[in-house]
Structure formats: structure tokens, C-alpha cells
């Protein structure tokens, strides 16, 4: 799981000082590092984000040492659960490495590249186009525009109880032409699965103190 918490301050700094965008040709790699695609053309809260996976026959400490030297110690070392993180910020973009041991010989992880916000990105409202009640608060809005599949993951906090929130979504989704394919109800949670043409949407509702937390996952297929 990618740690997103530090990005807010970092991206604010980037937007004021950036002179261009980075790509993965700018990201240092160890000679024996095997890369794979995780996400491209992704945006998190209107900020561009690209992710590659990697596997390398070294220890996490050797990975940390390599990037410390490559970035001339202009790094911040943190941990997030099982992940060791190496964060680097320059005058163009932010780069982060997440790494952990796979076994005694190999380590694996992710290379995260975040460029400054696109021009006028702040003019786009978070959650734009997502079905939500008027009093909903958008916690996070992630878009993926990969060539093979487009998707979106939006987290909302709604100031109403779970039963009225569920009723609102069932009415609104019907009004928008979505077909309910499955409903699952447990104590304190509801999952609604919808389809419309080539698109699928899952709406998960979770009772959250006096509010309702809603996670909407939308993708084509």
C-alpha cells in the first residue's frame, strides 16, 4: 500500500518551484532491478502519479544505500507498516521508493513518481462526476487512466446515518440508469454492486461514528 500522507506538503512545495516534469528515465535504478507496471496515467486529488513495481537481488538496506548515494543524501527515510521508504524531492518532482524483503536473497517494492499539479488542477472539484449527497465531504479521489482500463476510487464522509445514505444511493443510482446486481448487508456495513454498459461500480458504506464512510470504486471492463 502506498503511503500518501506526505504528498500534501510536498506537492504544495513542488507547485511553487517546479520547472518541468519528471518521467521514469529520471528515476535511478539498480542494474539488476526488474520493473513492472502498476499504474500509469493516475491522479490522486488532481495530482499526477505513476507507480512501477520492482524486484531486485539485494537487501532493503542495500536499496536504501543505493538511493542515498544517487540522491546525494537529499532523502528522508521513513517506515510505513512493513515498508522502508526513501523519499526524494528535487526542483521538478517527488520520487519515493518503498521496499521490503521478499526472502533472504530478494527485495521488492514500488517506485512512486509524482509531478507537480497540472495547470488549473485546483479548479477541478474533487469528486466531480461522482454520485454523492450535497453534504458529502471528499476525503480522497483517485483516477486511473491506463490504456487497458480506466478506473476511479473515491472516499467520502457523509453527515448522515448509514440507512438514509443507502436509501439515497439506491434511489440516485436508479435515476442515473445503473442496474443493481447485488446487495450485501452486514452489521454496520452495506455493499452495493452496479453495472451500466461496460462500466461497473461498487459502493461500500460503513457506519463511522455519527457519519457514514462511503467508498466508490468505478471501472470499465
**DSSP string covering 107-137:** EEEEEEEEPPPPTTGGGSPTTTTS---TT-E
Confidence of residue 122 (pLDDT cuts 50, 70, 90): low
Domains and CATH numbers, the chain: 7-121 (3.30.310), 125-220 (3.30.160)
User: What is the pLDDT averaged over residues 94-108?
Assistant: 92
User: Which of 37-46, 67-76, 171-180, 184-193 is predicted most confidently?
Assistant: 171-180
Q: Rounded to an integer, what distance in angstroms lies between the CA atom of residue 17 and that of residue 32?
A: 34
Query: What is the CA 202 to chain-centroid distance, rounded?
Result: 17
Contacts of 215 (CB under 8 A, 6+ apart): 153, 154, 155, 156, 203, 204, 206
User: Does the pTM exceed 0.75?
Assistant: no
Q: What mean pLDDT do residues 188-210 have?
A: 91
pLDDT in tens, 44-64: 666 667 789 999 999 999 999
Q: How far is Cα 57 from Cα 106, in angstroms, rounded to an integer?
A: 4
Which band of pLDDT confidence, cut at 50, 70 and 90, is reported for residue 184?
A: very high
- Where does the pLDDT of residue 143 fall: very low under 50, low under 70, confident under 90, or very high at 90 and above? confident
Cα-Cα-Cα-Cα torsion 61, 22, 49, 64, nearest 10 degrees, comes to: 0
Amino acid at each position: 500500500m502506498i503511503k500518501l500522507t506526505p504528498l500534501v506538503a510536498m506537492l504544495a512545495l513542488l507547485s511553487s518551484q517546479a520547472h518541468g516534469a519528471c518521467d521514469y528515465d529520471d528515476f535511478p535504478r539498480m542494474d539488476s532491478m526488474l520493473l513492472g507496471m502498476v499504474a500509469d496515467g493516475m491522479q490522486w486529488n488532481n495530482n499526477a502519479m505513476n507507480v512501477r513495481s520492482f524486484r531486485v537481488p539485494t537487501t532493503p538496506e542495500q536499496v536504501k544505500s543505493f538511493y542515498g548515494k544517487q540522491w546525494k543524501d537529499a532523502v528522508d527515510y521513513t517506515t510505513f507498516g512493513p515498508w522502508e521508504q526513501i523519499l526524494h524531492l528535487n526542483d521538478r518532482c517527488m520520487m519515493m521508493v518503498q521496499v521490503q524483503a521478499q526472502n533472504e536473497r530478494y527485495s521488492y517494492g514500488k517506485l512512486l513518481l509524482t509531478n507537480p499539479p497540472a495547470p488549473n488542477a485546483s479548479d477541478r472539484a474533487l469528486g466531480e462526476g461522482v454520485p454523492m449527497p450535497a453534504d458529502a465531504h471528499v476525503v480522497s479521489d483517485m483516477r486511473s487512466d491506463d490504456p487497458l482500463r480506466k478506473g476511479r476510487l473515491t472516499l467520502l464522509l457523509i453527515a448522515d446515518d448509514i440507512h438514509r445514505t443507502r436509501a439515497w444511493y439506491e434511489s440516485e443510482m436508479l435515476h442515473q440508469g445503473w442496474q443493481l446486481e447485488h446487495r450485501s448487508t452486514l452489521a454496520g456495513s452495506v455493499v452495493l454492486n452496479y453495472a451500466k454498459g461496460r462500466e461497473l461500480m461498487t459502493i461500500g458504506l460503513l457506519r463511522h461514528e455519527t457519519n457514514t464512510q462511503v467508498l466508490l470504486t468505478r471501472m470499465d471492463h
